[in-house]
Amino acid sequence: MILIAVISLGAIGAVGAVFLYAASKKFEVYEDPRIAQVQEVLPGANCGGCGYPGCAGFAGACVKADSLDGLLCPVGGGPVMAKVATILGKEAGTAEPMVAVVRCNGTCQARPRTNSYDGTKSCAIASTLYGGETNCSFGCLGYGDCVNACAFDAIHINPATGIAEVDEEKCTSCGACVKACPKNIIELRKKGPKSRRIYVSCVNKDKGAAARKACANACIGCGKCAKECPFEAITVTNNVAYIDYTKCRLCRKCVAVCPTGAIHELNFPPRKEAAPAPKAETVKPAPKAEATVKPEATPKATSEEKTNLN
């Protein structure tokens, strides 16, 4: 009986194995081996900054795409994309390097604290409970959700200002801090030539007087920057200005006319000071041309005068 049971179980196992093998072949999903090769050269951060769910998803997108244009690993950058292009036999796409920008300039001096928060030090939690410790309900809360989300140590809270600051040398534009900020004050912008950028460091949508009362550095939506911009790169929506980095030509005319200093310019050389106008007393008047007096012609003597003289 025991022998029969062993043989029966062995037969059942063999039949099951045959069925499982047939099913595995029938429903086998083919995976291009190049996906694994591409994934191997990727940095493995799985940050999602490329727009795909991790490095495996990005590798699959690169293999399936006809061209690598528009595909970029923000962590690896150009060198990694060159390796990907070599593996796939395609040309590496070109993409503008991006960097995270914190659009808040509400320092402790410009935005005084009006109350104190004693709850959990989390921006996500605090933002659901109240507007913040100042009169500005749009600005940076300063509890560091963006810092915790960054895997590259590229963003920190400045203890002097209470505002998040980005280290552009470490930032990989993965977008993790953008997703973590409940106030939506962090955005990815084009890094710009020589890392030069111009942006409005404010998202306060209150009207001018209320915004200025809440923060001395707030954008008041006056529209002077939009009128000054010769490239139509600035729009004012919901009482706050925004600079479109795809249209901005970095002329800096908008910076000069902003009455609150809400528009920031980064990594530009110092402006040249205009030469002072000369004082009136130091200007010597031009010498006047002297009038030349022509000698009067001697009148000719008449015939009578000649006779008398004789």
> How many other CB atoms sit within 10 Å of the CB of residue 108?
15
Please write down the HEC assignment for all residues of 116-143: CCCCCCCHHHHHHHCCCCECCCCCCCCC
123 in a labelled binding site: no
Q: Which amino acid is at 216?
A: A
Instruction: Tell me how far apart the alpha carbons of residues 25 and 64 are, in angstroms, rounded to a whole number.
Output: 23
- Asked if residue 174 belongs to a known ligand binding site, the reply is yes
CA 261 – CA 77 distance, rounded (Å): 34
DSSP state of 113: B
Is 177 annotated in some ligand binding site? yes
Q: Is 229 annotated as a binding residue?
A: no
CA angle (144, 240, 104) in 5-degree steps: 20
- Please check if 47 is assigned to a binding site: yes
Determine the distance from the C-alpha atom of residue 79 to the mean position of all C-alpha atoms in its chain, rounded to a whole number: 22
Alpha helices in 218-277 (DSSP H): 224-228, 253-257
| Residue 215 is labelled as binding a ligand | no
* Nearest to 71, CA basis, from 45, 32, 42: 42
In this structure, what token pair is assigned to residue 287? Answer: 């010498």
> Is 248 labeled as ligand-binding?
no
Outline where the chain has alpha helix (H): 2-26, 33-41, 54-64, 77-88, 123-129, 145-149, 176-180, 208-214, 224-228, 253-257, 303-309
User: 104 among the known binding-site residues?
Assistant: no
- Helix count (H) and strand count (E) of the chain? 11, 8
- CA-angle at 274, arms to 271 and 280, nearest 5°: 165
* 171 assigned binding-site residue: yes
The residue with tokens 């400045």 is 158
* Known binding positions for [4Fe-4S] cluster: 47, 50, 55, 73, 136, 140, 146, 150, 171, 174, 177, 181
* Known binding positions: 47, 50, 55, 73, 136, 140, 146, 150, 171, 174, 177, 181
